[in-house]
Amino acid sequence: MARTPIPSETLPDQAVLDRELESYLGYVLRRAQMKVFQHLSARLEPFDLRPAQFTALVIIEQHPGLMQADLARALAIEPPQAVVLVNKLEKLGLAMRLRCKPDKRSYGIFLSKAGETRLKELKQLAAQSDLESTDSLNAQEREQLLALLRKLYRESH
């Protein structure tokens, strides 16, 4: 039996399409993540950065000298992806690899002075982006959402 596709002009709007899916946690989390991610991406674009690169800068700031493999693990990416990411941060003058003293074959990743300065600005931008992309929540709801999400990813199996 042949089936005909529904013409796109007759499709219902997004709210109708989402109705049944909104009962699934994974779907709702993904939709919310996409909204927040797209908002932050737009704010980082003038700096030629993406959210993963911003995250990497924060991790490097917190753990100066960490190895590339450790950064990859922290970002949940493959080591070759971390190489590309760190190369980009170096190209932008925000981070640098320095040879480690104990093991001359290894390199630690550090923020450059420009990276330290830029990261201060980017953190403010990211905080503002979070507020703007969740402007339908009040401060208490935002804190409650953060607490619940932290609990979900830290304590769930």
pLDDT in tens, the chain (157 residues): 677 765 666 655 666 667 778 889 999 999 999 999 999 999 999 999 999 999 999 999 999 999 999 999 999 999 999 999 999 999 999 999 998 776 667 789 999 999 999 999 999 999 999 999 999 999 999 999 999 999 998 987 7
How far is 129 from 127, CA to CA, in rounded Å? Answer: 5
Residue 21 lies in a domain: no
141-38-97 Cα angle (round to 5)? 105
Residue 67 belongs to a domain with what CATH number?
1.10.10.10
Residue 120 lies in a domain: yes
139-146-133 Cα angle (round to 5)? 60
Number of domains in the chain: 1
The beta strands (E) that lie in the chain are given as 66-67, 95-99, 107-111
Its domain, for residue 111, covers: 49-127
Count the neighbouring beta carbons within 10 Å of the beta carbon of residue 87: 12
Residue 123 lies in a domain: yes
Residue 25 lies in a domain: no
Looking at the whole model, is its pTM more than 0.85?
no
